[in-house]
Amino acid sequence: MPGRPIIATSTSILVLDEGTTSTRAVLFGSDGRALDSEARPLSIETKVSGAVEQDATEIYERSVDVLRTVAERAAAGGQGITALAMTAQRTTTVLWDRTTGEPVAPVYSWQDTRAIPMLDDLREQWAQAVTRTTGLQYASGSPFHLAWMLRDPELRRRAEAGELLAGTIETWLVWKFTGGPDGGVFRTPWSCAGSSGLYDSARDRWYEEFLSAVGVPVAMLPEVTAEDGDYGMARVASAGVELPITGVVGDQQSALYGHGGLAPGAVKCTHGTGSFVDFNAGPHNVATGYGLDCRTGWQTRAGRSYVLEGGTSVSGSGIDWLVEGLGVLERADLVDATYRAADRESGVLCVPALAGFAAPHWDGQARGLLVGLNRGTTKADVVRGTVDGIAHTVTDLVETMGRLAGVPVTTLLVDGGLSRSDTLLQAQADFLQVPVVRAADPEFVTARGAALIAGIATGVWDGEESALATAAEGRTFEPMMAETERRIRRGAWQDAVDRTLGWHTPAYR
């Protein structure tokens, strides 16, 4: 019934999956399956160059709406709920009034870059110290969001007077759900604090020296808490929810956990516009480079895991380019059929550095390259060469992570829209020479990670082993390419990459 609290009586977990463009509630049963879900879109505004803003009140209200909808359906079906878990986009920043609970500025999305030019000198001055202290390759996101917000003299006065609070999306929602000004819990998980560029992971405290340099009072930031810790009791009357909150985790780390990537050497790759990779580096921080970050994956009663994290710029956008830019592919869903129609021995290879190279080559001047063309080259050959190029870029990233961590790669776990491509995943398995496993339920992998952490914390499962045993089995792509051929193809790729690095496009006048 609407407004009727659901008290913990059973073994399902309700998860709020707070994304960039939508908020979604997902109900997981004790068998690990997603039983129900409901989503609502979230607005994004880009008023000026570099600005990407959202509305904190809208995020809260739509989150309440999806929680209420799923909770009411669970109650109607006689399904009790044990806990509320949460996973959220990281480094998106909210600033609000401690007393009224009202936002005092727009939400600055993780994509917002307006403050970067203003603070370039500071970034340069602090670059090495930030990397050494936080594990991140460069300072961005929350430090500069807050510095930009506090340029307003009145907001700065209020911040220094202790009247304002700041945090990422999950911190804002936990505080609101647990009472807001009337005793709301003000906490954030390690996975989000460690992704903020504001946390000193070596000394387990906020990075006070850098906070002082960017002009952010440390008192306005939340307490850092384990992912399976106590985040208070959700008292969202309008959502019909009265539940303990636990299992609060950043989205990329939650996806790795949801895949079952709890052992060192496990790697998760989300194939979207680009490919986002998280590598379980084990219980110790790892020295980074090559554009990679090392941040806390999660802290639970079972211990702490660190992840190496990085991404490639072009994956799904490379397929879009084949369709919309070159016109060599009629539709994106024809990529596999077109790939198979190509000549395997054509020698065509595409280096898809269409926006420069991200990790591990980290060269913004690099440009795309299409090599091996001859009079017999077909559209299908170009498609195959591009798909192979996407697989090569991810292989470079994963192999670099393995070397830095000193941990062998055992399996690549994949999700995201482009993970539907069988030919991409087979090429990935061949180049990496490890099995590639596509999630059985890629839509719910991120939410599932938070559900597993919360379920272990509340006794739905008696530990990580029993929780992971609930995972549905996805399709596995085993390596099939002979080692001699793999070496030749990887060598050709490295030769092509070397030709793109530092490319300077001449200016024609």
Residue 7: predicted pLDDT: 38
pLDDT digits (tens, 9 = 90+) for 60-113: 999 999 999 999 999 888 889 999 999 999 989 999 999 999 999 999 998 888
Mean pLDDT, the chain, integer = 91
Residue 168 has pLDDT above 80, yes or no: yes
Count of residues making up the chain? 509
Residue by residue, DSSP assigns 455-504 as HHHTTSSSSHHHHHTTPPP-EEE---S-HHHHHHHHHHHHHHHHHHTT--
168: nearest Cα among 242, 229, 234, 222: 222
Structure tokens belonging to residue 149? 């917000």
The contacts of residue 132 (CB under 8 Å, 6+ apart) are none
Q: Do 330 and 397 meet the contact criterion of CB atoms below 8 Å apart?
A: no
Distance from C-alpha of 226 to C-alpha of 40, rounded to nearest angstrom: 28
Read off the pLDDT band of 509 (50, 70, 90): low
Read off the pLDDT band of 1 (50, 70, 90): very low
Task: Note the pTM of the prediction, 2 decimals.
Answer: 0.90
Residue 10: predicted pLDDT: 55
DSSP letter at 363 equals B
Find the mean pLDDT for residues 145-164: 94
Read off the pLDDT band of 119 (50, 70, 90): low
Q: Which helix (H) or strand (E) holds 270?
A: strand 266-271
Burial class (CB in 10 A: 0-12, 13-18, 19+), 421: buried
β-pairing, 266-271 with 275-282? Answer: antiparallel
The contacts of residue 162 (CB under 8 Å, 6+ apart) are 98, 217, 219, 220
Structure tokens belonging to residue 157? 């006065």
For 342, phi then psi, to 5°, come to -75, 160
pLDDT digits (tens, 9 = 90+) for 17-34: 999 889 999 999 999 999
pLDDT digits (tens, 9 = 90+) for 433-484: 999 999 998 889 999 999 999 999 999 999 999 999 998 889 999 999 999 9
Q: Which residue has the tokens 């499962």?
A: 461
